[in-house]
Chains A and B, each alone.
Chain A
Amino acid sequence: MKVTLKDLTKRFPGRSRKDPAVTAVNDFDFEIPSGELVGLLGPSGCGKSTTLLMICGLEKPTEGQIFFDDEDVTNIPPEERGVGLVFQNYALYPHMTVEQNIMFPLGNLKGADKLTKEQMKEKAKTAAKLVQIDHLLERRPKELSGGQQQRVAIARALVKMPRVLLMDEPLSNLDARLRLQTRVEIRRIQRETGITTIFVTHDQEEAMSISDTIVVMKDGVVQQIGRPQDVYDDPHNLFVAKFLGTPPINVFSGNLHRGKIYIGEDEVFDADNLAPDPGTVRPGADGVRKGPGKLAKDAGDCKVWIGIRPEGFYVDENGPLTCNLKGVEIMGRDVTVLSEHPEFEGETIRTIVDSENRPDTSKSEVHFRVRPGKIFIFSEDTEERLYGSR
Chain B
Amino acid sequence: METNNKKAWLYLLPAGIFLAVFMVYPLIDVLIYSMEESYNFASQTSRGTGLYNFNYILHDPYFLQAVRNTALCVAITVPISTGLSLLIAFGLSSIKALRNLFQTIYFLPYVTNTLAVGLVFMILFKKTAYTDGMVNLLIHFFHGPSVDFIDGPYWAKMFVLCFYVIWIVMPFKILILTSALASVDVSYYNAAKVDGTKGWRIFLRITLPMISPTVFYLIITGFIGAFKEYSDAVALFGTDLNAAKMNTIVGYIYDMLYGDSGGYPSYAAAAAILLFAIILTITVINLLVSRKHVYY
Contacts and interface: CB of A to CB of B under 8 A. Distances in A.
B111 interface: no
B174 interface: no
Contacts of A79: 193-197
Q: Is the interface of B mostly helix, strand, loop or mixed?
A: helix
A57 B195 CA distance: 11
A58 B190 CA distance: 7
A56 B194 contact: yes
B187 A105 contact: no
Contacts of B194: 56-58, 78-79, 83-85
Contacts of A105: 195-197
Interface in A62-88: 78-80, 83-85, 87-88
**Interface size class of chain B, counting residues whose CB lies under 8 Å from the partner chain:** 20 to 34
A257 interface: no
Interface in A32-67: 56-58
B209 interface: yes
B260 interface: no
B201 interface: yes
A243 B6 CA distance: 57
Interface string B197-213: 11001000110011010
Contacts of B210: 94-95
B295 interface: yes
A327 interface: no
Interface in A81-125: 83-85, 87-89, 91, 93-95, 104-105, 107-108
A160 B195 CA distance: 9
Contacts of B193: 58, 78-79
A57 B212 CA distance: 30
A76 to B, nearest CB: 12
Which of the listed residues A57, A88, A94, A95 has the most CB atoms from chain B within 10 Å of its own CB? A95
A279 B84 CA distance: 66
B2 interface: no
B188 interface: yes
Contact of B185 (A80, A89, A160): A89
A292 B230 CA distance: 90
Interface string B73-114: 000000000000000000000000000000000000000000
B196 A80 contact: yes
Nearest to B195: A105
A178 B98 CA distance: 46
Which of the listed residues B187, B188, B194, B196 has the most CB atoms from chain A within 10 Å of its own CB? B194
B191 interface: yes
Contacts of B185: 89, 91
Contact of A85 (B188, B191, B206): B191
B202 to A, nearest CB: 10
Contacts of B198: 108
Which of the listed residues B188, B196, B197, B212 has the most CB atoms from chain A within 10 Å of its own CB? B196
Contact of A104 (B190, B205, B212, B295): B205
Nearest to B210: A95
A79 B195 CA distance: 5
B295 A95 contact: yes
Nearest to A109: B196
Nearest to B206: A93
Given A79-B196, A104-B195, A105-B195, A91 B205 contact: no
B191 A108 contact: no
B295 to A, nearest CB: 4
A42 B75 CA distance: 58
Contact of A108 (B188, B190, B201): B201
A85 B187 CA distance: 11
B196 A91 contact: no
Interface in B272-296: 295-296
Nearest to A81: B194
A94 B295 contact: yes
19 contacts: A58-B193, A58-B194, A78-B193, A79-B194, A79-B195, A79-B196, A85-B191, A87-B187, A87-B191, A88-B187, A89-B187, A91-B191, A93-B188, A93-B206, A93-B209, A104-B195, A105-B196, A108-B198, A140-B295
Given A91-B187, A108-B201, 18 more contacts: A58-B193, A79-B196, A80-B196, A83-B194, A85-B191, A87-B187, A88-B187, A89-B185, A91-B188, A91-B190, A93-B205, A93-B206, A94-B296, A104-B192, A107-B201, A108-B195, A108-B198, A156-B191
Q: Which 8 A-B pairs have the closest CB atoms?
A: A79-B196, A95-B295, A105-B195, A91-B187, A95-B209, A91-B191, A108-B196, A78-B194
